[in-house]
Each structure stands twice: as C-alpha cells, then as structure tokens.
Amino acid sequence: MKTLEAQVITSEDLLKHWQGHRALTRRLIEIFPEKDFFEFSIGGMRPFAKLVDELLAIAAPALKGIVNRKSGPYTEAEEKLIFKAQYLEKWDEATAEINKYWEQLSVEDFSETFNLFGQYEFPIIQNILYFIDNEVHHRGQAYVYLRALNIEPPFFWER
C-alpha cells in the first residue's frame, strides 16, 4: 500500500491555479483580432488558432482519459473551427469538462502512472503539470503576437 506524503498544494488549489491560467488564455483569445487569430505568425510559429487547437486537444480529452484510464492517441479535433467565437465556445466547454473530470480524481490518483496518449508514461501529477506548462508556453507566444500587433495584452499575473 502506498503512503501519501504531506501535500504542498491541495487538489482544489491546483485546479484553481489551472483554471486561472485557462481564464487568462481565454482573455487572450477574446482580444485577438479575428483575422490575426487565424493568420498572424512570427518566425514560422503557428498562428494562435492552431496553438489553441492543440490546447483544446490536450486538456479536457487527456484528463478524461486519465480519469477513465483509457489512453488513446493524440488527435486534434476533426471539426474545423472558422470563427473565434467557436473557439471561445469550445474553450468554455472544455473548462466545464475539466471541472467535471477533476471531481473524479482522488488524491491517490495523482501519484499513479498513466501512459498519456500512449506515449508519455508519467505520474498523473506530471501529466497535469505538463498541461498547464504547455498552455503557459503557447500563451507566451500569443503575448508576443499581440505586442507585435500593437495590442496591449493583460498582465500575466491577472488570473
């Protein structure tokens, strides 16, 4: 039987932290000009819409896989979104799904190993931290894009 070490952060606080990041990313999606959301890029990086496609393909689907202990391959949505409003709708749906599946995780689950997308065999906590890190990374790219477009992004700490 495994014993748990003392917690530094509770499951509820980790979800609040993640959802704070998601709320800030949503604000960036909102302030992006429609055309630039799909087309603007610097230095060969993908446009923000493509980065958001990746974020949508990871967060809720991966957490659902973790909770159900089903590891399918990584795939981005087959449905082609063509308006920023569709992305915002999908973002909100994913946020609700994350909350739903999060409630099904136990503290013990976080230390269990899970083979995410059949490729990344790590403890569940590391997978979840990857979801957050990946979003922060891509949001940083969006900050660069917005500044290049002479749009003042929100402060990164306003979560």
Residue 1's pLDDT is: 53
Token code pair at residue 113: 């190993």
* Domain total of the chain: 1
Q: What is the pLDDT along the chain (159 residues), one digit of tens a residue?
A: 555 566 788 999 999 999 999 999 999 999 999 999 999 999 999 999 999 999 999 999 999 999 999 888 888 877 889 999 999 999 999 999 999 999 999 999 999 999 998 888 999 999 999 999 999 999 999 999 999 999 999 888 887
The verdict on whether residue 138 carries a ligand-binding annotation is yes
Q: What is the pLDDT of residue 5?
A: 60
Output the CA angle 126-106-109, nearest 5 degrees: 40
| Sheet strands (E) in the chain | 113-116, 120-123
Reported as a single tens digit per residue, the pLDDT across 131-151 is: 999 999 999 999 999 999 999
C-alpha dist (Å) from residue 84 to 6, 52, 60: 43, 10, 19
Q: Does residue 116 form part of some domain?
A: no
For residue 132, being part of any structural domain is answered with yes
Q: State the Cα–Cα distance between residues 13 and 110, nearest whole angstrom.
A: 14
Residue 144, domain member (yes or no): yes
The answer as to whether 156 is a domain residue is no
Question: Does residue 6 fall inside a structural domain?
Answer: no
CATH code (residue 25): 1.20.120.450
Reading the block at residue 89, the tokens are 């709708």
Q: Note down the domain range covering 94.
A: 11-70+83-104+121-149
Burial 129-145 (b: 16+ CB within 10 A, else e): eebbeebeebbebbeeb
Q: What is the pLDDT of residue 11?
A: 93
59: in domain = yes
